């Protein structure tokens, strides 16, 4: 299949300095990102956005993107995804720019990533696909034992097809006692047996966490506590909204996947006296914030975090937080809605357009006009607190 170069971008020294300043001393990763795009114009435009998101993922992990490449190609190469010739060109560029990691913007087949890594050994570099990168970010940001186990489970499922080429990479995490060789076992069979046993152990432990959460949910129902789940695309500032509504002050950072587990906080609504002298006492509402979604999130990752998403599925109401300042807002909203549908979250959902402080008044006015006759739509800013009181008051009314 004939290959045509679509775009190759070399970052300037000034850009690299800015990126290095963002990263600091976290990692010494100089990254070349690459992907292929079909000749179709609409898909090419979508790929541009995917590449920007891929760069943001690299920065979140702690690497610096020094080169990027997009090529037009009708079908991926069977052996190396990008083709042997293009891989040679990329390796040459990586040597010149001292890049040590190649990241492909899609999910590669096991034999493809294996052959690319074998080739890159000649220059002392390595290759990851998009899922590898996301798993690395998850692993780096994991805080709780449950989250770490979920990430490990997802990694096992992702690594399983690649077992013939991964050697004993995971053995450092799990010790050596279980890796004792059977009489006729090969190294691959030892690893398969070990991963199978470890997967069962993790699932048993996660089942215990699941039962504990179910007990907590039943306890809340007995107390007649209303629950609200906060969901949305990653970096929509969901945790910031939770902090404002509950004063819990969980970690809220301007980066992808800052939240991996579930954070639960209480929102208190002050007592009110209505015009007809009806007294409404203090109301206690539980809010839960969980992992942000992202486009093309593989099913194995969604499945691994299914337990932490249960609090959202079981909540009375969902708040779908959307970054209204994002140019790709409609597409990202659709991504979240599809994932919610997949995991069975079908309860009433309030649309919360966040980051209004970052929008021009003309754009915001037009958007509000478009949603004027629709219910359950709110415009807020977790930076200026605009619209927060209206959202709190509405939650109090409908719960």
Q: Does 206 or 2 have the greater pLDDT score?
A: 206
Q: Give yes or no on whether 4-136 and 225-398 have one common fold.
A: yes
Q: What is the pLDDT of residues 304-318, one digit of tens each?
A: 666 667 666 778 899
Q: What is the pLDDT of residues 133-171, one digit of tens each?
A: 888 888 877 777 887 888 888 888 887 777 655 443 444
Rg, C-alpha atoms of the chain: 24
Put residue 154 in one of left, alpha, beta given phi > 0 → left and psi -120 to 50 → alpha. alpha
Exposure string (b/e) for 187-211, b if CB count within 10 Å is 16 or more? eeebbeebbeebeeebeeebeebbe
Contact assessment for residue 242 and residue 230, using Cβ atoms and an 8 Å cutoff: yes
Q: Is the pLDDT of residue 277 over 70?
A: no
Q: Tell me, what's the pLDDT at 207? A: 87
What gap in Å lies between CA 214 and CA 345, rounded to an integer?
A: 16
Residue 208 Cα distances to 215, 348, 399, angstroms: 11, 29, 30
Please give the share of the chain, as a percent, with pLDDT higher than 90.
24
364, with CB counted inside 10 A (0-12, 13-18, 19+), is middle
Domain spans in the chain, listed from the N-terminal domain onward:
4-136, 143-205, 225-398
Give the model's confidence band at 287: pLDDT under 50 very low, under 70 low, under 90 confident, else very high. Answer: confident
Q: Is the pLDDT of residue 326 over 60?
A: yes
Q: Tell me, what's the pLDDT at 347? A: 86
Q: What is the pLDDT of residues 36-94, one digit of tens each?
A: 887 775 666 666 777 888 888 888 888 898 888 888 888 899 999 999 999 999 999 99
Residue 345 Cα distances to 182, 240, 306, angstroms: 46, 22, 12
Contact assessment for residue 303 and residue 199, using Cβ atoms and an 8 Å cutoff: no
Residue 107 main-chain phi, psi, to 5 deg? -95, 115
What is the overall mean pLDDT for the chain? 78
**Which option is the CATH number for 4-136: 3.40.50.720, 3.30.450.40, 3.10.20.30, 3.40.50.11060?**
3.40.50.11060
Q: What is the pLDDT of residues 241-253, one digit of tens each?
A: 888 888 876 554 5
Residue 324 Cα distances to 33, 106, 159, 321, 358, angstroms: 28, 27, 37, 9, 8
Nearest partner of 236 among 329, 321, 360, judged by Cα: 321
Contact assessment for residue 293 and residue 335, using Cβ atoms and an 8 Å cutoff: yes
Task: Identify the DSSP state of 176.
Answer: S
Q: Tell me, what's the pLDDT at 393? A: 87
Beta-carbon contacts of residue 219 (< 8 Å; ≥ 6 apart): none
Put residue 138 in one of left, alpha, beta given phi > 0 → left and psi -120 to 50 → alpha. alpha
Q: What angle do CA 42, 48, 50 make, to 5 degrees?
A: 105
Nearest partner of 107 among 87, 85, 132, judged by Cα: 132
Most confident among 87-91, 132-136, 281-285, 367-371 (mean pLDDT): 87-91
Q: Does 133 or 275 have the greater pLDDT score?
A: 133
Beta-carbon contacts of residue 210 (< 8 Å; ≥ 6 apart): 307, 310
Q: What is the pLDDT of residues 181-190, one digit of tens each?
A: 555 556 677 7
Run of H or E residues at 273: strand 272-273
**Which option is the CATH number for 225-398: 3.40.50.2300, 3.40.50.300, 3.30.70.20, 3.60.15.10?**
3.40.50.300
337: tokens are 């809605």
Half-sphere exposure of 193 (CA within 13 A, CB side): 13
Residues in the chain: 399
Q: Which residue has the tokens 């605009």?
A: 386
Q: Is the pLDDT of residue 97 over 60?
A: yes
What gap in Å lies between CA 272 and CA 254, rounded to an integer?
A: 36
């Amino acid at each position: 299949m004939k290959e045509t170069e679509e775009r190759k971008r070399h970052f300037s020294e000034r850009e690299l300095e800015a990126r290095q300043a963002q990263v600091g001393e976290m990692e010494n990763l100089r990254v070349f990102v690459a992907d292929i795009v079909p000749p179709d114009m609409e898909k090419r435009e979508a790929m541009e956005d995917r590449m920007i998101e891929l760069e943001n993922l690299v920065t979140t992990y702690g690497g610096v993107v020094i080169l990027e490449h997009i090529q037009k190609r009708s079908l991926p190469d069977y052996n190396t995804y990008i083709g042997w010739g293009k891989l040679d060109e990329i390796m040459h560029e990586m040597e010149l720019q001292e890049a040590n990691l190649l990241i492909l913007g899609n999910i590669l087949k096991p034999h493809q990533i294996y052959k690319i890594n074998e080739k890159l050994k000649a220059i002392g570099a390595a290759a990851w696909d998009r899922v590898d990168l996301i798993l690395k970010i998850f692993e780096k940001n994991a805080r709780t034992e449950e989250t770490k186990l979920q990430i490990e489970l997802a990694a096992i499922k992702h690594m399983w097809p690649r077992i013939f080429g991964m050697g004993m990479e995971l053995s450092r995490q799990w010790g050596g006692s279980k890796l004792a060789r059977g009489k006729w076992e090969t190294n691959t069979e030892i690893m398969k047996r070990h991963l199978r046993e470890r997967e069962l152990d993790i699932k048993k432990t996660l089942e215990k966490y699941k039962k504990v959460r179910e007990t907590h949910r039943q306890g809340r129902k007995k107390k007649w506590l209303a629950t609200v789940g906060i969901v949305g695309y990653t970096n929509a500032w969901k945790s910031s909204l939770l902090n404002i509504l509950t004063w819990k002050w969980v970690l809220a950072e301007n980066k992808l996947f800052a939240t991996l587990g579930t954070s639960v906080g209480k929102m208190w609504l002050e007592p009110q006296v209505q015009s007809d002298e009806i007294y409404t006492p203090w109301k206690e509402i539980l809010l839960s914030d969980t992992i942000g979604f992202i486009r093309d999130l593989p099913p194995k990752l969604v499945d691994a975090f299914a337990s932490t998403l249960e609090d959202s599925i079981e909540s009375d109401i969902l708040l779908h937080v959307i970054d209204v300042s994002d140019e790709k807002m409609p597409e990202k909203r659709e991504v979240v809605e599809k994932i919610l549908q997949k995991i069975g979250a079908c309860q009433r959902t309030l649309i919360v357009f966040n980051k209004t402080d970052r929008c021009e008044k003309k754009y915001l006015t037009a958007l509000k006009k478009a949603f004027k006759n629709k219910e359950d739509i709110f415009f807020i800013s977790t930076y200026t607190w605009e619209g927060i009181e209206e959202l709190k008051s509405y939650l109090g009314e409908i719960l």
